Amino acid sequence: MSQRRITIACLVLLLSGILLDRPAPAYTLEEFGFEDPKRSAEFRDLIAELRCVVCQNESLASSQASVAQDLRREIYRRMQEGQGRDEIIDFLVARYGEFILYDPPLKPSTLLIWLGPLLLVGTGGYLFIRTLRRKQTEPERGLTEEERARLSQLLAQNGQGHNQYLR
């Protein structure tokens, strides 16, 4: 087999690996059934806004970690008992800290998280608009008579040979 063919074969293998090798979901929502579809939606929303403590960039809804499954079961059990969203969040925060919330509450220590992006966009926007305005009020002025005279004098000094570059 030619080298090119091998390369293509490798690429195809690699791509099929990327496209087809999706990990099987560790759980199904059927496992957490509710009679009331409203409660079911509440459950789905809740696990999507809680952070998995093991794999910190995943929500409880998407995580396949075993601890995440334990927490889903615990949340499910509490919802079956009739507990509401806030009660369950309080329970989890008391044990794992506010870390478990994707939406941190607004308080002094989280002020920067909440207002930081706004502050950055605001400052950037202000500077941008100010720069644009200044450009408008100070249009490029042309050369004065005096400058024009000086320019032609300089060009003449440079001689014929260089003139081609200045044209």
Chain positions contacting other proteins, by CB under 8 A? 53-54, 56, 66-67, 70-71, 74, 93-99
Between residues 43 and 71, which has the closer beta carbon with respect to other proteins? Answer: 71
CB atoms within 10 A of CB 49: 15
- Mapping DSSP to helix (H, G, I), strand (E, B) and coil, where does residue 59 land? strand
**Upper half-sphere CA count for residue 150 (Cβ side, 13 Å):** 5
User: What angle separates helix 37-48 from helix 66-80, to the nearest 10 degrees?
Assistant: 140
In whole angstroms, the minimum distance from the beta carbon of 154 to other proteins comes to: 16
3-state secondary structure of 101: strand
Residue 99 or 102: which CB sits closer to other proteins? 99
CB nearer to other proteins: give 13 or 99. Answer: 99
CB of 68 to other proteins, least distance (A): 9
CB of 123 to other proteins, least distance (A): 10
